[in-house]
Structures are given as structure tokens and as C-alpha cells.
Amino acid sequence: MKVSIYSNHTEDSNRVSDLIMKEINKTNIEVDDDNPEVVITVGGDGTLLSAFHHYAHQIDDVRFVGVHTGHLGFYTDWRDFEVGQMVDGLASDNGQKVSYPLVCVDIIYQDGSVDNFTALNESTVKKIENTMVCDIYIKGELFERFRGDGLCVSTPTGSTGYNKSVGGAVIDPSLVGLQLGEIASINNRVFRTLGSPIIVGKDQYLDLVLNTDEQLIVSADNLQAHDMDNKKKIAKIHYEISPHEISFARYRHTSFWKRVDEAFIGGIK
């Protein structure tokens, strides 16, 4: 078993990382930051997202385990006082995992070049100034012309994040697909959009065709996929479910709906 410890390097996370190393040194587990089988993240959801993007090039060969420090994280299953129990699970690992879908984000520029990203939670598109105008295509067919502040495309697990804050639905990750959420759309007697989230299946894809030469900001999770420093003009952005998935080691993996309950309702029964 080869593992890597990926930390946000706060004082508390450094302390927990040291505890994990002490427990690992009692076993035959090997620390390998280049080719780990399991990545242990220490911090919160932001740390796990950073670790995911760091190891995205080998996503099919790694699983993740999250230890949270401070506030409860949506993807993190373990607390600092449970480190010994977690390492015991690693030592007796049998390869069990639970996997969640990812979204491919392809930014196609007017000069024909393409930037490719993969997101675990969501990708957003926003205009720096004025109203963003774009045509939304679903599986190659024009659906509507959007006007507003921006758009959010999320995965089922990412539906509890920024998507939820813009009025999107929370989707069970067993329903593999994409959700398109509007950010402050313009709706009046002249300009109309559907005005509600759109959910498409895994065999569908979305194209956002931009009708502007002005600068846009595109994100992929916590990464800026396109920002003000990039002077290239975007022609369209293509979204589809990735052929790859993110996997979590299933030593004590909390179910999706239990996570939702604990994160937003507080476990009230």
C-alpha cells in the first residue's frame, strides 16, 4: 500500500499530518507522493479539490480519504481523533471504493485552440462586465439564448455546492448527469429564459456558445480555467460527463444523503 498525505498546511492540519505519519510508521504502508494508491487529504473540501486536481492525470489509479480539520467537510469522513482507526483501515485495505462522476470542461477559442479541464463539483462562466449573452445547445440542438450574470454546470455531488446557492436541485449521484443553473438571468417581456435549472442525462452534452468578444471568467472547481489575464476570445464551452470517476476508499464512507443531512439540516430526526 502506497499513500500520499496532501495537506493545506495550516497549523492544525500540520499537527494532524504528523499524527498520521506516526501511525503510518507503525505499519508497512509506504509514503509515495508521486504514485500513491490512496491520497489522504488533511484540511477541508477545498484541500480535497486541490488534491483531486493535483492527481487528476492519474485519477483512475488513486482513491481518496479525507480528514477534516476545523469545520465539517462534505467530502471528508474522518476527524483528527480518529486517525489511528483510519490508518488501521488503510493497513487492511482490500480495494473497496465508492465512485462519483466528473465533468469534462473544454474551452474552445476563436483561434481554434482548446483548453481541457475536469471538475469534481462544478464549472461556472461569468462575464467581467455587463450582461453575458450565450446560446445554450443540448446535444447539438439550440435550446435557448441566455442573458444574465452567468451559468453554472455541476455534477450530482457538486449539486450541493454553488449550484444549490443559485437555486439548483440536489441530485443523487447515482443519477449520472449534468445540471445547468442560471445566475441572475434576465427575464422580461423582451428576453426570456426557462428560468429554472436544467438536468440532462449522461448521454447528453451541453455547449455554451458565447456571443461576445469581451472577457469572461471560467472556473473548474477552485481553479480559474480562464481569467482576465488570458486574452484569447472564447467561441464556446463544451460540457459532458467524463469517462473517468473520482473514487473514495470505502473504510467508513458516509452516504451522500447522510452528508446532505449533516451539512444542511444538522442531523435532526
* 46 assigned ligand-binding residue: yes
Chain Cα centroid distance, residue 85: 27
Distance CA 216, CA 259 (A): 33
Give 52-58's long-range contacts (Cβ < 8 A, gap of 24+).
Answer: 52/120, 52/221, 52/246, 53/221, 53/222, 53/223, 54/6, 55/4, 56/118
Was 184 annotated as part of a binding site? yes
Q: Is 155 annotated as a binding residue?
A: no
Q: Helices 83-91 and 11-24: crossing angle, nearest 10°?
A: 40
The annotation status of 45 as a binding-site residue, yes or no, is yes
In three-state secondary structure terms, 211 is coil
> Annotation-wise, does 163 bind a ligand?
yes
Strand-pair category, 97-109 with 114-119 = antiparallel
Whether 45 is a known active-site residue: answer yes
240 is in an annotated binding site: no
Q: Does 164 show up as a binding residue in the annotation?
A: yes
Least Cα distance to 252 among 121, 96, 120 occurs for 96
219 is in an annotated binding site: no
Pick the catalytic residue from 45, 77, 207, 221: 45
Ligand-binding site membership of 147 (annotated): yes
Measured between alpha carbons, how far apart are the two ends of the chain, in Å? 39
Annotated binding site for NAD(+): 45-46, 121-122, 147, 149, 160-165, 184
Annotated binding site: 45-46, 121-122, 147, 149, 160-165, 184
Residues known to be catalytic: 45
